[in-house]
Amino acid sequence: MAKTKYLEVTDLEIRKWLKNHGMPSEAAHLWKAFVETQWPIHLQAIEETDAVEWSTVQHLKQILEPLVAHCEDHAATKLCIFCPKIYHQTLMNTFNNTEVFRTVPTGQAELRLRLPGMVPESIRSRYAWGLDPSTELPKCYIFPKAKKNYLKARPVITFDKTYARTISQALSTILTQMCKIAYPENLHKDSTQSTFRKLHDFMRDLPTLTDQWKFHNDDLVGFFTSVPHDRIKAAVNHMISEYLRNHPSPLPLETTKFSVKTLGDSLSNDLRTFRGKVRRPGVILREIWLGDIVALTELMLDLSFFTSLGTCYSQIRGACIGAPASPVICNITAAFEEFVWIKAFNLTWASTTRFPAFFSRYVDNRACIIHFSDMTRATTQLISLDFYRPPVQLEEVEGNMFLGFAVDLSTRTVSYVAPSEAWQFRSPNSAGTSTLLLGSLCSRLHIIFRGTFPKSNAKKAAGLLCQQYVEKGFSSFAVFRLMNKIERQMRRRR
């Protein structure tokens, strides 16, 4: 960025900061003087590190102006260049799917004004803290899918700073806790770390000969767009009854309520500055009545409005990807089907098989490892692609990947699959501190030390990953120092 442009942008923010803290605006010249002294050092650093210059970025923008530059599904850091006509067609194919979306025949301004009227008066008055009529309608974007030749895409609706974002976030917290109590045997109950621990225990219990076990690896197709709303509502109703059965309340239903923490600045997680000290917004304790849980869930589904290319849409099946409550709402529907299966066969996961077995679901990715002799009527139904009942459908996933690891039954190992594409690595010449630049390495090393089995293989896998970062231009000293630090941390936690 040119110095003039940089000063123009930062001077405005500095003046806002000075005004907010009751300081004279004349102090802004101190910032300008500081930038003037530091700018030659900045230019020298750019030359020494081969950093990307502002002029290069602007030139690239000019070249790409008639095209669409975006990423693809499951590859957020991969730059893809799309033909505008094809991208537009993909956008239309996504939102003109009448089984999932419907067009709302009204303008954006009118729809935004009508939103409060769609909320029952009792809900609107009781939960005014979670509804903000001054905000804009949610907007959307898509992640084109490579495996569908970029003609289909994953729709994402941005609910940040929108009408029902705060109440959706609070509802998500409560539903998550209720689901764990109502359906303690649901396959998505464990954290990633607990899932790895169970997988390691299973691999440890396997005998030397493992050819009689089969790895069933499935994905739920369209997890957020396939569940009919009536099934979501029925599942939430059933979950509440099971919750009360497992965790009975001494109070009547109409007076039972939950407390949930929300940020004082309910629409922002941003850091704020108070008298020179950086602090987070204050936390406020809010209340949600148990008797309102179903109505609030229905409200989240009814308020699934958004805009795309100036047109208003509503999602009529599933729950919006991007809404805070959507993951748990869809998970409850899946957990309900798993609960019904357990009750129908009067089983627990431990009693399902005679031989060692592994069952887990991470959001929409499900893994089942079962011995051939344990293929009973119950397990056959479990691994069926129709287990969650159409239109919710499973599809087989090729290979033996689960949570970023290769699960090899023949060698009884769980091995990290290292990134292989250039776009999966941040450039060492990017702007930012060394901690920021090595952030992805830090995350990946933690994953390796947690997920690898046997644990004795973890250091080798971590070393190979670090070598990849060194080959990409990162400092060998900084990379391996980070690896050794994380290894010591993980060893202390065991």
Mean pLDDT (10-residue bins), the chain, 494 residues: 85 88 86 91 80 82 92 93 95 94 94 94 94 94 93 93 93 95 93 94 88 93 93 97 92 87 54 47 83 96 94 95 95 96 86 90 93 93 95 92 94 95 90 87 96 96 97 94 95 81
CA distance 147 to 232: 29
Q: Which two tokens stand for residue 184?
A: 């303690």
CA distance 489 to 487: 5
Helices (H) and strands (E) in the chain, counts: 16, 18
The answer to whether 266 and 130 are in contact (CB under 8 A) is yes
Cis amide linkage into residue 155, ω under 30° from 0: no
Q: Which residue, 331, 300, 308, is CA-closest to 101?
A: 308
Answer whether residue 471 is part of any domain.
yes
The answer to whether 294 and 325 are in contact (CB under 8 A) is no
Answer whether residue 12 is part of any domain.
yes
Q: Which of 62, 82, 104 is at the close of a domain?
A: 62
CA distance 383 to 370: 10
Answer whether residue 139 is part of any domain.
no
CA distance 131 to 139: 17
Residues 6+ apart with CB under 8 A from 482: 438, 441, 442, 445, 466
How far lies 418's CA from each of 402, 411, 428, in Å? 13, 19, 18
pLDDT at 382: 94
Q: Which of 12, 31, 62 is at the close of a domain?
A: 62
Answer whether residue 486 is part of any domain.
yes
Answer whether residue 392 is part of any domain.
no
Answer whether residue 320 is part of any domain.
no
Answer whether residue 350 is part of any domain.
no
pLDDT at 263: 67
pLDDT at 279: 54
pLDDT at 465: 97
Q: Which two tokens stand for residue 171?
A: 């509802």
The answer to whether 403 and 195 are in contact (CB under 8 A) is yes
Structural domain span for residue 25? 3-62
CA distance 268 to 280: 10
Q: Which of 18, 37, 62 is at the close of a domain?
A: 62
CA distance 21 to 275: 7
Query: Residue 29 in 3-state DSSP?
Result: helix
Handedness of CA 188, 192, 196, 201 (dihedral sign): negative
pLDDT at 268: 42
What are the backbone dihedrals phi and psi of residue 159, each rounded to the nearest 5 degrees, phi first?
-100, 5
pLDDT at 22: 84
Q: Which residue, 41, 45, 44, 36, is CA-closest to 11?
A: 36
> Domain total for the chain?
2
Structure letter (DSSP) for residue 250: S
pLDDT at 275: 45
- Name the amino acid, one letter, at 410: S
CA distance 203 to 454: 9
The length of the chain is 494
CA distance 309 to 329: 28
Handedness of CA 112, 117, 123, 125 (dihedral sign): positive
pTM of the predicted model as reported, rounded to 2 decimal places: 0.85
Answer whether residue 251 is part of any domain.
no
